[in-house]
Structure 1
Amino acid sequence: MRYYLIAGEASGDLHGSMLIRGIRQQDPNAEFRFWGGDLMAEEAGIPVRHYRELAFMGFIEVLLNIFKVLGNIRFCKKDVAQWNPDVVILIDYPGFNFRIAEFAHNKGFKVFYYIAPKVWAWKEGRVKRIQRNVDKLFVIFPFEIDYFKRFQIDAYYTGNPLIDSVAKKIDALPTLEEFKAEHGLDERPILTLLSGSRRQEIAKCLPTMAKLAERFPDFQVVVAGAPSLTISDYNETVGALPVKIIFGKTYELLAFAKAAAVVSGTATLEAALIGTPQVVCYQASPISYYIAKRFIKVRYISLVNLIMDKPVVKELIQHDFTIDKIAQELNELLYDSPARSAMLHEYQLLRTMLGEPGVAYRVGEQMVTELKQLKA
């Protein structure tokens, strides 16, 4: 069968790559066409569009690039119609994918949504678009099952796909000594910075986070470079601060770090599953933050706290996002302390909640089964 997948961000590229493997295990003759990134490309060839062409963050940033966004939507609709897939699989990225869902549904294509839009956090009215245009919904957090039942939507949950990616990476880790030698790191322990995957996030958050190199001279501060960016994007931001940037080694940097400062997003959950104590950071433009604050309904921004429904990790948002407050939190987490031990204990409970490895296989099996039934 023919599968058309659309992922618009780095996390979607990761989940999409694992999903392609899972589908192919169930449907060896599967054909794929996709919007995504380098990880999906490793599984299914050249993307129609790379997510770096799509990743705009915040209300103002989207508005400034609106003509490019609309042009991509028009092209995607045309491409879907011409390729004529058996199913369109949308991966998160709701602003773009909801428009494609409506188009695909109206044209008679089956529509699966993988990684449900976070309508439980804000824009709950979007649930109606899921009811109207999505044939099957596949979620990655256990609490979403009961949430969507309130709207008569049967959501499928087979575990969180990060369980698979983390397990695979951890099994293939080099030793700490090998890693340091390969990347020119010294003997000091590592403090890792995950400053986001978009240029806007880097520009807003990294200048403050990079100052940790001055606050913690006994640690080497290393930034996990996002695959969609270049070394110049980071050098312009960190300036002369003694910070090293390493690309393509996010899981290794988390696994070997004593602690991490992490911009809110999928990376907060990755750090927790790997077992890295963290402080969560976030800063947006004042207008984007003001608008979001008026509409977001949840108490937390990090996935760790949302899933556990309590403040497991400290969140420093907007005005609280200062070098003094970040350093204060890391002073507790970089060394043996009750705060560090408590966080690691909560991480163990979180892993239990999210299920066993094999998620990509299970969700791929479920998608192929459901598609066969829908087309019967």
Structure 2
Amino acid sequence: MKYYIIAGEASGDLHGSNLIRELKQRDHSADIRCWGGDLMQAAGAELVKHYAELAFMGFIEVAANLRTIFRNIDFCKEDITRFKPDAIIFIDYPGFNLRIAGWAKEKGFRTIYYISPQVWAWKENRVKTIKKAVDKMLVILPFEKDFYKKWQYPVEYVGHPLVEVIETFKAEHSHIRKDDRTIALLPGSRKQEILKKLPVMLEVSKAFPDYHFVVAKAPGQPDDFYAPLLAPYPNLSSVRNDTYTLLMRARAALVTSGTATLETALFGVPEVVCYKGSKISYLIARRLIKVKYISLVNLIMDRPIVKELIQDELTPSNLRKELSGLLAEGQYRSRIENDYSELKAVLQEGGNASAHAAESIWKFMQG
């Protein structure tokens, strides 16, 4: 069968690559075309557009790039029409994917969504669009099934794909040992968020001369983008495409909000969650977003497991204070580690998410 998969971010590329491998195990003749990244391409899909060309963050940034976004939407529709897939699989990335899903449904394509848009956080009315445009929804967070149930829309919980990814990595790299002097800096994957948060993270490093701060560079951003940001800090180092090894070593981490907060928790690394956007984008978001927390760790457990420093709270002095607490042995650090164990147990209830998702998609296509 022919599958067209659309992912618009680094995390979608990761989960899309594992889904592609699982699909190919079940459908040996699978012909897959995708929007994603290097991982999806390596898994056997033909890459149409890289997510690095698609990552626009915040209301202001999106508005400034509307012409490019609409060109991409038109090109995607044309490419799908030429390819004539048996199914289109959408991975998160709702602003783009829901537009394509609505169009695709009208054109008679089968539509499957893997990793639900975070409609429970804001734009809840998008569920109406999902019900009309998506034939099958596969969710990865335990509370999402109950959320959709109140909208009379049946969805399938397949577990969280990060659990299997990280457990596999840890098993294959068991020789890596913790370094009590390593602190990981994970400033995100988009240029806008990196420019807002990384300078604050870097400034904090001055207060901890005995520690080794390591920046995880985003796969989609070139070295010359980071060079001027890192130049004033010659004692820092960086890694590229090796974030998981860094988290295996790290004693603590400063992490931008998003999937990385959950990855860090599943590696058992105490963290401070950082968010800072443009003032206008933040003010708009604060009026629209309904959830209590910005990190997946806190959202899943419905309590403040990790500290979140948001917008004006994200200052070098606040970050320095929180990092000091993480580095010290004591009840605070122990409590976070225990909460991480509980979080992992909750997410493991769904089993192997990629395999479950692929099996569900395959059966759906057969039916």
String of CA shifts for 1:174-205, please: whole Å, max 9, x gaps: 6447x9xxxxxxx8721000000011111000
Residue 280 of structure 1, aligned match among 242, 256, 273: 273
Q: Which amino acid aligns with 1:243?
A: L
Q: Equivalences for 1:276-315 in 2 at 5 Å?
A: 276-315=269-308
Aligned residue number for residue 257 of structure 2: 264
Alpha-carbon contact 1:188-1:218 (below 8 Å) kept:
no
Q: Equivalences for 1:227-376 in 2 at 5 Å?
A: 227-241=219-233, 242-355=235-348, 358-373=352-367
Q: Which amino acid aligns with 2:66?
A: I
Aligned residue number for residue 185 of structure 2: 193
Q: 2:264 & 2:66 partners in 1: Cα distance?
A: 33
Alpha-carbon contact 2:114-2:357 (below 8 Å) kept:
no
2:97 aligns to what SS in structure 1? helix
Alpha-carbon contact 1:4-1:89 (below 8 Å) kept:
yes
Q: Is residue 2:158 matched to residue 1:165? A: no
Q: Which amino acid aligns with 2:296?
A: L
Q: Is residue 2:232 matched to residue 1:221? A: no
Aligned residue number for residue 184 of structure 1: none
> Shift of the alpha carbon at 1:124?
0.5
Q: Which amino acid aligns with 1:367?
A: I
Q: How many residues are matched?
A: 365
> Shift of the alpha carbon at 1:113?
0.7
Alpha-carbon contact 1:25-1:361 (below 8 Å) kept:
no
1:34 aligns to what SS in structure 2? strand
C-alpha change, 1:94 and 1:152, in structure 2 (3 Å) is same
Q: Which amino acid aligns with 1:239?
A: A
String of CA shifts for 1:345-376, please: whole Å, max 9, x gaps: 00000011001652211110011101211xxx
Q: 19-28 or 295-304, which moves further after superposition?
A: 19-28
Q: Is residue 2:199 matched to residue 1:207? A: yes
Alpha-carbon contact 1:87-1:109 (below 8 Å) kept:
yes
> Shift of the alpha carbon at 1:63?
1.0
String of CA shifts for 1:257-302, please: whole Å, max 9, x gaps: 0000000000000011110100000100001001000000000000
Q: Which amino acid aligns with 2:126?
A: R
Give the alignment's TM-score, normalised by structure 1.
0.95
> Shift of the alpha carbon at 1:173?
1.7
> Shift of the alpha carbon at 1:335?
2.5
1:316 aligns to what SS in structure 2? strand
Alpha-carbon contact 2:115-2:138 (below 8 Å) kept:
yes
Q: 1:197 & 1:25 partners in 2: Cα distance?
A: 30
Q: 1:236 & 1:208 partners in 2: Cα distance?
A: 14
Alpha-carbon contact 2:140-2:353 (below 8 Å) kept:
no
Runs of 4+ in 1 over 4 A off after TM superposition: none
Alpha-carbon contact 1:234-1:245 (below 8 Å) kept:
no
String of CA shifts for 1:98-132, please: whole Å, max 9, x gaps: 11001110000000011111010000110000011
Aligned residue number for residue 124 of structure 2: 124
Q: Which amino acid aligns with 1:248?
A: N
Question: Cα RMSD between the aligned structures?
Answer: 1.3
Aligned residue number for residue 27 of structure 2: 27
Q: Is residue 2:82 matched to residue 1:85? A: no
Q: 1:247 & 1:212 partners in 2: Cα distance?
A: 21
Q: 1:69 & 1:277 partners in 2: Cα distance?
A: 37
Alpha-carbon contact 1:188-1:220 (below 8 Å) kept:
no
Q: Is residue 2:10 matched to residue 1:5? A: no
Matched residues, percent identical?
48
> Shift of the alpha carbon at 1:152?
1.1
String of CA shifts for 1:192-243, please: whole Å, max 9, x gaps: 0000001111100000101122111111000011100111211222331132
Gap runs ≥5 in structure 2: none
Q: 1:321 & 1:127 partners in 2: Cα distance?
A: 33
